[in-house]
Amino acid sequence: MSLEQRPVTRFELLMDAGTGAQKAGDILLGAFVGMGQYVYVEPMIPAEISPPARSRPALSGVIIRLADFDVTNIGNDTDLLLAAHEIVLDRRLDDNEFNTDAKILLDMGDQEANPDSYEMVLKRCTKLGLSVIPFDVDPESQTIVKELGGKGQNLHYLGMLSYIYNMDEEIVQSQIIKTFGKKLKEDIMAKNLTLYHNGYRLAKEKVFFRIDVKTHKREGQQILIDGNTSMSMGLIDAGIKLYSGYPITPASSIMHTLAKNFPAYGGMVHQAEDEIAAIGCAVGSYYAGMPAVTATSGPGLSLKQEFIGFATVAEIPLILIDVQRAGPSTGMPTKTEQSDLLAALCGSHGDYTKIIISVSNVIDCFYAPHLARYLTEKLRVPVFILSDFQTANSYKVVAKFPLAQMKNVDEIPDFVFDRFHMKRLTGPIEMVRTQQTLPGTEGGMRRITGLNTDENGKINYFSDNHQRSHRVRNEKIHHVRRALTTPEMFGKDTNEILIVGWGATRGAIEEAITLCAKNGVPASGMHFRIVYPLPLMLKDIFAKYKKVMTVEGTYGDMLKPSSLALLLRSETLKDIHPLIAEATGRPVRPRIIMQKIQEALK
């Protein structure tokens, strides 16, 4: 019996969809957080609601990274894995995210009916050098699961994991009661608790190692929140009053959260008939003076493009949240990617102007709406907030952050600008139309149109005038460009290589640079929160590094620069290639970044 000390470790629970893997993860998480552990959680969500059990698409689960210190990403490799059967394990092995000494707990319950399949997967594990600890759910628990209509297996596994992670059996039990509380009838709850305790006992008898999880005392109030929920709360705090959307994964959970919470803060949720209507209603609302937002993902961004151009020309404020997923087309709705940068940058026709903000963690998600509202109301150009599946769904414990309770955009706190590496805008900002009255303003009647207009708002097809409109719109973006400060940097300010990323890759880049420093690899990092426009001093910064390469969750190769590489090349004329440009649907990993840096420096 060994008690392992690990300052940071990662484990996962894999089950069939709909059998409660994520629920078990949540309970465990609650208990870890109660012990003062830092956690970063990535749910693995199938694209279908009820894919057939014991099939590869049914893989549903949760990956939990635990540490004695703050962790900014899901990390590198799994140390322990509990799988409900051989099929979900086999599917997950494809991702190749396991430490060489990883332990695999495999439920053998289905072996009798599927001996060949089990044999094949066990052989695969042996080949990969992974040690498998087979176990069987005890007969009493099997009977209870049958009585519960196939439910409750997750609590049995939860019991096993509680034992392995050296947790107090009673604390986890109270967490179970807290989680299910009033939802379960007394007798059903009792059966679930029996399953939990049986699992705990089973591990005690069958598993010959435990991982010590230390208890820490944390200063100040801590919250546990995911990206989309944080974004929803941020929208409320930024003073947005209308959410107008259409159901689409993975943006929908913002709409769910607001549907429950918004009316209590004076806000409305409008579920539109389609993606185009959703953005149209947001445009109409902002036109009439009520701050509004629309959010979408994947195909929804394509559908909204015409309205983005209209808002640009009509000078109506517009905030569009895009929670990116793997594309093109329907792609992989529940997998992460950073492949919408160019669609945001150039998606609508006719050279429109725009600002693109990205988010890298739950705190960015909270404040991005504040900055977006400030910029769109000051400049009257569309502002994108680019999130992604990974950032939207991952959750972690953070110190509770301060609220802004913004009523108007001038109330935006300075720390929001600091977070996004820009200064407050100064000086007068010219509009295409001099008059920008809101409907209802006496004497201020005006018409807006997608047609080109002069400064009086009159339709105008003259060549000089159209050129002026473009100049005025682009000057708005230049205001932002000039207000941008040096982006976030990691490591030395001159080095052999600089790796650059945006949005979700921030945590992995930061950790990779720390890892590089420890291993004597001469690398530095840079991360953009505002991705467009880019700051003016980039060329000077890049000059201090022998090589500049990007890290992106989207496809690229030596002949086809990935999105950020393409943008940076055009802005700096530097020969920038992707270091990592992967469209695997999996988060970028710090260890892999370091490996690739080492290869690039050879």
CA distances to 91, 427, 455 from 296, rounded to whole Å, are 29, 34, 33
Least separation, in Å, of the C-beta of 256 and another protein? 15
How far apart (Å, rounded) are the C-alpha atoms in residues 155 and 140?
14
Least separation, in Å, of the C-beta of 435 and another protein? 9
The per-residue b/e assignment along 41-74, b for 16 or more CB within 10 angstroms, e otherwise, is: bbbbbbeeeebebbeeebbbbbbbbbbeeebbbb
Letters for 213-252 (x = contact with another protein by CB under 8 A, - = none) are --------xxxxx---x---x--xx---xx-x--------
274 binds another protein (CB under 8 A): yes
Single residue of 63, 283, 295, 534 touching another protein by CB under 8 A: 283
Stretch that binds another protein, among 94-102, 450-458, 524-532, 549-557 (CB under 8 A): 450-458
Nearer to another protein, 129 or 263 (CB): 263
Stretch that binds another protein, among 176-184, 267-275, 508-516, 558-566 (CB under 8 A): 267-275
310 binds another protein (CB under 8 A): yes
Contact 398, 223 (CB under 8 A): yes
Least separation, in Å, of the C-beta of 267 and another protein? 7
How far apart (Å, rounded) are the C-alpha atoms in residues 419 and 19?
40
| Tokens describing residue 194 | 């029996």
- The tokens 């989309």 sit on which residue? 228
Q: Smallest Cα–Cα separation from 129: which of 108, 98, 105?
A: 98
Nearer to another protein, 278 or 576 (CB): 278
Stretch that binds another protein, among 278-286, 384-392, 523-531, 571-579 (CB under 8 A): 278-286
Single residue of 451, 537, 543, 601 touching another protein by CB under 8 A: 451
Least separation, in Å, of the C-beta of 442 and another protein? 5
Residues 522-551 that bind another protein (CB under 8 A): none
Range 252-259, long-range pairs (CB < 8 A, 24+ positions): 253/228, 253/229, 253/392, 253/393, 254/228, 254/295, 254/321, 254/323, 255/295, 257/228, 257/229, 257/232, 257/233, 258/232
Cα angle, residue 568 at apex, residues 565 and 569 outer, rounded to 5°: 80
Contact 196, 369 (CB under 8 A): no
Least separation, in Å, of the C-beta of 361 and another protein? 15
Letters for 24-43 (x = contact with another protein by CB under 8 A, - = none) are ------x--xx---------
Least separation, in Å, of the C-beta of 328 and another protein? 24
Neighbouring C-beta atoms of residue 110, cutoff 10 Å: 17
Binding residue count for another protein, defined by CB under 8 A:
66
Residues 387-426 that bind another protein (CB under 8 A): 397, 400-401, 403, 405
Nearer to another protein, 5 or 215 (CB): 215
How far apart (Å, rounded) are the C-alpha atoms in residues 433 and 420?
29
How many angstroms from the chain centroid is the CA of residue 518?
A: 28
- The tokens 């002026």 sit on which residue? 468
Single residue of 459, 536, 537, 601 touching another protein by CB under 8 A: 459
How far apart (Å, rounded) are the C-alpha atoms in residues 294 and 311?
13
18 binds another protein (CB under 8 A): no
Least separation, in Å, of the C-beta of 438 and another protein? 8
How far apart (Å, rounded) are the C-alpha atoms in residues 152 and 138?
13
Least separation, in Å, of the C-beta of 403 and another protein? 6
Least separation, in Å, of the C-beta of 196 and another protein? 21
Least separation, in Å, of the C-beta of 178 and another protein? 12
Nearer to another protein, 270 or 466 (CB): 270
Single residue of 5, 50, 143, 449 touching another protein by CB under 8 A: 449
Three-class DSSP category at 542: helix
CA distances to 459, 460, 471, 473 from 465, rounded to whole Å, are 10, 7, 10, 12
Least separation, in Å, of the C-beta of 334 and another protein? 23
254 binds another protein (CB under 8 A): no
172 binds another protein (CB under 8 A): no
Letters for 486-525 (x = contact with another protein by CB under 8 A, - = none) are ----------------------------------------
- The tokens 């705190």 sit on which residue? 363
299 binds another protein (CB under 8 A): no
Least separation, in Å, of the C-beta of 279 and another protein? 8
Query: Residue 545 forms beta bridges with which residues?
Result: 495
Distant-in-sequence, close-in-space partners of 119: CB < 8 Å, separation ≥ 6: none
Nearer to another protein, 356 or 397 (CB): 397
Contact 418, 402 (CB under 8 A): no
Nearer to another protein, 83 or 236 (CB): 236
Residues 81-140 that bind another protein (CB under 8 A): none
Single residue of 11, 118, 287, 367 touching another protein by CB under 8 A: 287
| Tokens describing residue 68 | 């004695």
Least separation, in Å, of the C-beta of 11 and another protein? 20
Nearer to another protein, 30 or 327 (CB): 30
HEC string of 450-501 equals: CCCECCCCCECCCHHHHHHHHHHHHHHHHHHHHHECCCEEECCCCEEEEEEE
How many angstroms from the chain centroid is the CA of residue 300?
A: 18
67 binds another protein (CB under 8 A): no
Q: Given the rule CB under 8 A, which residues bind another protein?
A: 30, 33-34, 221-225, 229, 233, 236-237, 241-242, 244, 261, 263-268, 270, 272-274, 276-290, 292, 306-307, 310, 314, 397, 400-401, 403, 405, 439-451, 458-459
